[in-house]
């Protein structure tokens, strides 16, 4: 078994344990899981960069013997970012301890309510469900129905008025247009 293969196994074990710990409800366990995963990824970068070589300084050694500086720079950046996230998560864990005297996250009532709405397929509380737009559509449909009814009522009144024979002939929307070459009644 070569040293590189052993490092790959170690990297996989670190990543697997990190995922297991990250799924816990405890903030401290999640922090430890995050640290294991980030160190596993850093180790994977170092394995993928190839064998160690000489320092990448021009003129100091043969360029074929020098190691690639890019993976080392990426790992150094990842270490700095991981340190910042670790500090943030420690602050969260400390605040959770101050508030509830435990670092175990409890079920959130709002999350449970949203989950129940999702199970019922109820979109009334969703940001994507615009109740005012729904009301406007209903108002428009009601207005069209009312306009159609008033036009029908006006037509019926007009026909009843014309059958009496006493009065000007007006349509439901005003006086009738004059006929070409004829007089207006």
Asked whether the beta carbons of 49 and 67 are under 8 A apart, the reply is yes
Asked whether the beta carbons of 66 and 53 are under 8 A apart, the reply is yes
**pLDDT tier for residue 2 given thresholds of 50, 70 and 90:** confident
Structure tokens at 76: 């150094």
- pLDDT 10s digits, 79-120: 999 999 999 989 988 888 898 888 887 788 888 888 888 888
Residue 42: alpha-carbon gap to chain centroid:
29
**pLDDT tier for residue 184 given thresholds of 50, 70 and 90:** very low
Compute the C-alpha angle 80/86/87, nearest 5°: 95
> What pLDDT shows up at residue 119?
86
3-class DSSP string for 105-163: CCCCHHHHHHHHHHHHCCCCCCCCCCHHHHHHHHHHHHHHHHHHHHHHHHHHHHHHHHH
- Stretch 67-73: mean pLDDT, rounded? 87
- pLDDT over threshold 50, residue 185: no
- pLDDT 10s digits, 15-50: 999 999 999 888 889 999 999 999 999 999 888 888
d(CA 171, CA 182): 18
Q: Which CATH number is 1-54+68-105's, of 3.40.50.80, 3.90.245.10, 1.10.287.3510, 3.40.50.300?
A: 1.10.287.3510
Distances 148 to 135, 144, 152 between C-alpha atoms, Å: 20, 6, 6
């Amino acid at each position: 078994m070569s040293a590189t293969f052993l490092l790959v196994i170690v990297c996989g074990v670190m990543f697997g344990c990190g995922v297991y710990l990250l799924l816990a409800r405890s903030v401290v366990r999640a922090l430890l899981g995050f640290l294991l995963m980030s160190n596993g990824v850093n180790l994977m970068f170092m394995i993928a960069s190839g064998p160690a070589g000489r320092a990448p300084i021009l003129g100091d050694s043969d360029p074929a013997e020098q190691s690639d500086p890019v993976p080392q720079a990426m790992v150094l950046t990842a270490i700095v970012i991981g340190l910042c996230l670790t500090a943030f998560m420690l602050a969260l864990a400390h605040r959770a301890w101050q508030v509830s005297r435990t670092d175990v996250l409890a079920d959130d009532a709002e999350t449970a309510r949203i989950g129940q709405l999702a199970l019922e397929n109820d979109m009334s509380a969703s940001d994507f469900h615009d109740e005012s737009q729904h009301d406007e559509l209903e108002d428009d449909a009601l207005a069209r129905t009312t306009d159609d009814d008033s036009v029908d009522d006006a037509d019926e009144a007009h026909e009843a008025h014309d059958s009496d024979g006493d009065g000007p002939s007006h349509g439901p929307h005003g006086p009738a247009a004059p006929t070409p070459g004829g007089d207006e009644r």
